[in-house]
Structure 1
Amino acid sequence: MKVLLQRVKEAKVTVENEITGAIGHGYLLLVGFTEGDSEKEIDYLAEKIAYLRIFEDEAGKMNRSLLDVKGSILSVSQFTLYGDCRKGRRPNFMAALRPDEAKMLYERFNDKLRTYGLQVETGIFGAMMEVSLVNDGPVTLMLER
């Protein structure tokens, strides 16, 4: 499981000219799954994301979590995180989990994030999506399990 996390001032996802999810300050998460991913990876990364301290405190140090700042999450499924570009000029996506299995894990992951009391907005799994964001920092981290 991979999650590309971006700290944002705002973000939204649009499908066929309709906004399906939008947040103010918080995280934009691009989420991908591979063979062997399970509840174990979901639990680990959901907790990591909820408590990761990457918001500034009064002293300007990254010392506050998403929960501390009452931020939100925009979660977007992203199988291309498992694109392999080492050979040729076109990515190979063989490491990405099959869509039916990935969708189930993606929904469980979002539900797990909500158990921490977080507001979680989403795109539409498998749809062609337009994602807009105002990066904050910028702060961008790759989380893997």
Structure 2
Amino acid sequence: MGFEYRCSGTGFWSRIAVVAFLVLFAGMMSGLTLGLMSMSLVDLEVLAKSGTPNDRKHATKILPVVKRQHLLLCTLLICNAAAMETLPMFLDSLVPAWGAILISVTLILLFGEIIPQAFCSRYGLAIGATLAPVVQVLVVICFPIAYPISKV
């Protein structure tokens, strides 16, 4: 059974902030999965050597991240799953269980899947280059779990 929070209390707003972060994080992971995994290493190497100046810069930033594709994929999927599975737990403390399910499914579908994938399918190179440092940190954090899985 959930807890009741006043809309003006810090507990309520901190939970809302966590919910917003989890939705945005899940969206970022979903978009990066599509954006980074849709580019082949050969295409990125060609862009890094002979693309436009912007494309060269972006491809150069992405190449070190994408070189280990299986590790990258496992990292992005683990982070995405963690965010999506944690979301209903935080919502459950704010609304009834049926509301938590309804809200989490709606938020994840719109802001965690559809919109990020629409943006990243079109601007995957630029978004991937911008978020490459974040992805590198996540690879390090998830390495103990993602590395063995990536070798299967």
Q: What's the TM-score, normalizing by structure 1? A: 0.29
Higher helix share: 2
Larger radius of gyration: 2
Higher strand share: 1
Q: What's the TM-score, normalizing by structure 2? A: 0.28
